[in-house]
Chain A
């Protein structure tokens, strides 16, 4: 089964790295390369019409399935390509870091888990891999676990996504209990209220993983990990998983669920876009941008066009990984990702900056880069959907906001002056960056074949007026971002946007604090019960003490008295034995007389 190579090769690499503890980067590259080869061959086969699948023994009657369909095979290739290139980049990026074995093992494991998620043909396997990527990202975000704030960031990311995962669990219960099978494709035809409920629950899970509003907060904290981790996380694995889930279950979605998905996506486009505009840190800006772009993907799903969603997902994978890889190089050059420290880094490192600009302009939707095509597909889908009045404005606002923060980023990196440090391993990083930038530039031309491959409708061409409008929005946004300061642009929205629009204190206020209050109340209740139990115990102890006292003063004393009494009686008994025969005879006679009396009067 060649298509399982996509999973097994990185997994074997992870195991070998942990066992051998040497040659970690080579093993990881080998594993990722073999995985990429497997995924590519599978995609070629699938495009030829053969859909390979594998069944593994799982729960009784519920086998574990892996299937390679056009959609999953394509996603598998995306994951493999990004994974491989990020690992190539990491060879340079991690050159002077310790803990290489741990890093490469976890990265390989991450890729393997993501491939499992992508290729999973049933809910059990999907759920398992869903959790495994959560675990892997927790480990990788916390890679520098000894640094201040990093364990908290990792824990926060893990808990946020785990909280939202509740939706996936319940959705799976609903689907499996209604259809009696765990096979993914079998459950998608359930229909009716169950489909609506399951769809909404899956949306919750996807929102958590893809950092959609109001769960957007964790993603910016997750930037604390190494930059290759961020690149992988944002473009092809953890954050993408939510969007991938929604694309895969799009046949399930009822109109109600579609509207909810679309609205949540639209809301996130605007909210996360505003956050991105206001950020003072490059990586945090990119993180907010990721949320916003996955908002586009979800909106496309909600608009009933999974093909457009897939296209934007793939294009975004190339664009965002390019941006992150570029940011990683800047980070190495300046020892920080804050814009304050990155001033002028673009003019110093012009080649890298050129790549960065291409990827950024692609993201902004500039013709003829990939973002232009994918974003236009989403906008077209939004205008074509029954909910166009609700969804279309979000896409237009999103286009403007994307252009604004891209331009702002470019200006901040280009202007000003700073001290550059020499960057080690720039070769590896540069190669990976170049390939990804190239993909980001040209992927748009592959839109039509991709859509045909996955069986979806090819994205409609936009009406000329609309085309002009989006291009004008992009250009206007770029100009605004370049020439107008963010503070002036956002006005009163600036401060809350910079803080990430933590609704009612964000996750902390909405979930953590109430949970803690509840926990504290329960603790108090528990203490009451505890006190009660202690009281019972205390009562028991008091009783025991009293009984011991009674034992000592009462029973022991009684026994002592008894012993004394018995000894006294014994002494008396001995006194009867006077040794004087006549007195003893008298006693015997008295006894005999007593017996006689008893016998006579007794009966």
Chain B
């Protein structure tokens, strides 16, 4: 504790007097998100639910806009505890629009229900938690982010208040509580060994393998739960299935990306000698991909199918984390794949909102609603990784990063899993071109969301290829 205080004093001394004002300016996007959440809540209390959605969307887009100037800034806030870097800034640029689109998507499901505005507030708060994770420079931010995003998520899952959702939320809560507790418990080993909560001080773990291992396990459990990495994923299919589809879409993207980025922030500072962490993460990646795809193969419920698919995608994400052990491609690959994943996964969920949860609901979609059907095909084959779509370039970078870091076998496993995932997604695509029963009811909000997602899926793929091509 004494050393912590000394450290804080030391940082303050280095930082100077204007520290606080500068920090707040750099934190403007997070503050905007917080104000959006509070505002949505106030509007709900004022019984102005109609105003809550536009307010939330505008607030989140403003926050996104505030994050744009931060591109290229590499600094830390609040005595090194929060980081402004490529990961955290891109997390804002990707996750805040996704949150806004999820709010739009949820409008169709939650409008005219009691406390409609609280949904938007909870979405904002959970996104804030994810942002805290993505920029974490201190273990306390890890804990804060996990808890903040978890609490909001629990409430969102339970929102419909029927048996299904209540049970799902309950499981989620229990699972989250246990894993969070394990994480907090494990992290104390790091504090004990290094005398600091700063991730930057993890270098000091060099001589303490046991403590390093204990802390890493804790982080993996806590963030693995948040990112739904096998074997800490068990909550996800139930929670997604119980929650409104829009909330499932949100949960499958925002907290996951936040947690993955947080894990990247942690491993970036782990000493190279700190055991075989890349190997362990690689093992988790392989397990997550394989398990997710295998389980998705037998699902009859599209939401659960996409839940397992998102578990598999977490495995792909971990390739980028593993690459922090020895590749310059690690950060770009994570950012590009995050953007790609956000676009294509959100689009797929938006189509589910439109069509229904059951696989049978998709029969004949391609004929009844050709454009929406084609969009669904694009999202799904992008999830497989077919060029020139976003998923292809994201996966290509991840595989390249893993190979560059020396994990060729992991790349091979990932490629094999991509082949396997084709079977998963074709299970949705094939019935879509059967004989249609009846066209699903139109939903303006869902259409807006999948259209934007479709544009993003194609644009990210093309833009990334152009950018990478110009670099090469």
Q: Are B280 and A602 closer than 8 Å at their CB atoms?
A: yes
Task: Pick the interface stretch among A79-87, A258-266, A572-580.
Answer: A572-580
Quick one: closest A residue to B168, CB to CB?
Answer: A579
Given contacts A585-B178, A588-B234, A591-B232, contact A574 B298 (CB under 8 A): yes
B179 at interface, CB cutoff 8 A: yes
Quick one: closest A residue to B420, CB to CB?
Answer: A566
- How many residue pairs link A and B with beta carbons under 8 A? The number is 93
B96 at interface, CB cutoff 8 A: no
B318 at interface, CB cutoff 8 A: no
Q: Which residue of B213, B283, B296 is within 8 Å of A600 (Cβ)?
A: B213
Q: Are A570 and B175 closer than 8 Å at their CB atoms?
A: no
Given contacts A587-B231, A596-B217, A600-B213, contact A569 B294 (CB under 8 A): yes
Dominant secondary structure of chain B at its interface with chain A: helix
Kindly list chain B residues whose C-beta atoms are within 8 Å of the C-beta of A588. 175, 178-179, 221, 225, 231-232, 234
Contact with A along B10-50 (1 / 0, CB 8 A): 00000000000000000000000000000000000000000
Measured CA separation A576–B230 after assembly (Å): 11
Q: Are B179 and A570 closer than 8 Å at their CB atoms?
A: no
The smallest beta-carbon distance between A237 and chain B, in angstroms, is 77
Given contacts A588-B231, A588-B232, contact A595 B295 (CB under 8 A): no
Q: Are A581 and B175 closer than 8 Å at their CB atoms?
A: yes
B322 at interface, CB cutoff 8 A: no
Q: Which residue of A566, A589, A598, A602 is within 8 Å of B297 (Cβ)?
A: A566
B120 at interface, CB cutoff 8 A: no
Given contacts A570-B298, A598-B280, A603-B209, contact A581 B179 (CB under 8 A): no
B378 at interface, CB cutoff 8 A: no
Q: Are B231 and A567 closer than 8 Å at their CB atoms?
A: no
A461 at interface, CB cutoff 8 A: no
Q: Are A585 and B175 closer than 8 Å at their CB atoms?
A: yes
Kindly list chain B residues whose C-beta atoms are within 8 Å of the C-beta of A574. 295, 298-299
Q: Are A587 and B283 closer than 8 Å at their CB atoms?
A: no
Interface centre among A570, A576, A577, A599 (most CB of B within 10 A): A599
A532 at interface, CB cutoff 8 A: no
Q: Which residue of A563, A571, A579, A591 is within 8 Å of B231 (Cβ)?
A: A591
Measured CA separation A579–B234 after assembly (Å): 8
Given contacts A588-B179, A591-B231, contact A600 B237 (CB under 8 A): no
Q: Which residue of B213, B230, B423 is within 8 Å of A596 (Cβ)?
A: B213
Contact with A along B215-244 (1 / 0, CB 8 A): 011001100010000111011011000000
Kindly list chain B residues whose C-beta atoms are within 8 Å of the C-beta of A569. 294
B171 at interface, CB cutoff 8 A: yes
Q: Are B238 and A595 closer than 8 Å at their CB atoms?
A: no
Q: Are A579 and B297 closer than 8 Å at their CB atoms?
A: no
Q: Please tell me the size bucket of the interface on A.
A: 20 to 34
Quick one: closest A residue to B220, CB to CB?
Answer: A595
Kindly list chain B residues whose C-beta atoms are within 8 Å of the C-beta of A584. 171, 175, 234-235
Given contacts A587-B234, A588-B232, A595-B280, contact A571 B298 (CB under 8 A): yes
The smallest beta-carbon distance between A575 and chain B, in angstroms, is 10
Kindly list chain A residues whose C-beta atoms are within 8 Å of the C-beta of B294. 566, 569-570, 573
The smallest beta-carbon distance between B198 and chain A, in angstroms, is 21
The smallest beta-carbon distance between B290 and chain A, in angstroms, is 9
Measured CA separation A262–B330 after assembly (Å): 101
Q: Which residue of B275, B291, B297 is within 8 Å of A567 (Cβ)?
A: B297
Q: Are B174 and A581 closer than 8 Å at their CB atoms?
A: yes
Q: Which residue of B217, B296, B423 is within 8 Å of A599 (Cβ)?
A: B217
The smallest beta-carbon distance between B210 and chain A, in angstroms, is 7
Interface centre among A567, A576, A592, A598 (most CB of B within 10 A): A592
Kindly list chain B residues whose C-beta atoms are within 8 Å of the C-beta of A576. 234
Q: Are A581 and B295 closer than 8 Å at their CB atoms?
A: no
The smallest beta-carbon distance between B125 and chain A, in angstroms, is 25
Measured CA separation A206–B275 after assembly (Å): 102
Q: Are A599 and B277 closer than 8 Å at their CB atoms?
A: yes
Kindly list chain A residues whose C-beta atoms are within 8 Å of the C-beta of B204. none
Q: Are B209 and A600 closer than 8 Å at their CB atoms?
A: yes
B386 at interface, CB cutoff 8 A: no
Q: Which residue of A579, A585, A589, A590 is within 8 Å of B174 (Cβ)?
A: A585
Kindly list chain A residues whose C-beta atoms are within 8 Å of the C-beta of B232. 588, 591-592
A-B contact pairs, 14 of them (CB 8 A): A566-B297, A566-B423, A570-B296, A570-B297, A573-B298, A581-B174, A585-B175, A588-B225, A588-B232, A592-B217, A592-B220, A595-B216, A595-B217, A600-B209
Known contacts A584-B235, A595-B280, A603-B273; 18 further A-B pairs (Cβ under 8 A) = A563-B423, A567-B298, A570-B295, A576-B234, A577-B295, A581-B170, A585-B175, A590-B231, A591-B231, A591-B232, A592-B220, A592-B221, A595-B217, A596-B217, A600-B209, A602-B276, A602-B279, A603-B276
The 6 closest A-B pairs by CB, nearest first: A591-B231, A584-B234, A599-B213, A573-B295, A570-B298, A570-B297
Instruction: Point out residues on A near B: beta carbons under 8 Å.
Output: 563, 566-567, 569-571, 573-574, 576-577, 579, 581, 584-585, 587-592, 595-596, 598-600, 602-603
